[in-house]
Amino acid sequence: MKQFLLATVFLAAANHFLGAPVVLRPVETVSRVADDSVSLAGEWFLVPMLASDTAAGKLPWLRFNLSQRKFSGFTGCNQISGSFTLKADQLGFDQNISLTRMACPGFNEKEFISNLLRVDHYKIKNGVLWLMIDQTPVAKWMRRPDNKAVI
């Protein structure tokens, strides 16, 4: 950036001394930041729908690595990782997942994992990730955590 500014100043000074008019025009910049509101890649946080969704006191999250077809995350109690398949809007989690085994009283982790493994589709609408079973939404995820439970 400094080199660009120095070159611009140098050319302006050279043109001034040579009698040529200096014309500066705005340059459009193109953003190369991916729109994370439409991509499955990256980190997603569960939007709690029931009080039991955060019974362990921590919010579940998932991180998707599209190039490796791997996911990792946190169930609200334990770390989770594994692989997934993805084709258009079809999403499937491999049954062979790795999971730490801490006990979290009051948290129904078994149901959380069971639903995750049954997911067969997804959609992203308005920056919200919906995991679905037979086109029925079963979990809502967002890029930023939202600790408000909806009862």
HEC string for 23-88? CCCCCCCCCCCCCCCCCCCEEEEECCCCHHHHCCCCCCEEEEECCCCEEEEECCCCEEEEEEEEEC
Q: Which residues contact 88 (CB under 8 A, 6 or more apart)?
A: none
Q: Which CATH number fits domain 42-142: 1.20.140.10, 2.40.128.270, 3.30.230.10, 3.40.50.2300?
A: 2.40.128.270
Model pLDDT, residue 107: 78
Residue 125 pairs in a beta bridge with 128
Higher model confidence: residue 14 or residue 124? 124
Query: Domain limits of the chain?
Result: 42-142
Model pLDDT, residue 142: 95
Model pLDDT, residue 17: 47
The one-character DSSP state at 102 is: -
Residue 137 pairs in a beta bridge with 132
Q: Which residues contact 31 (CB under 8 A, 6 or more apart)?
A: none
**pLDDT, tens only, 33-59:** 345 567 999 999 999 887 666 666 788
**pLDDT, tens only, 57-85:** 788 999 999 999 999 999 999 999 999 99
Model pLDDT, residue 4: 46
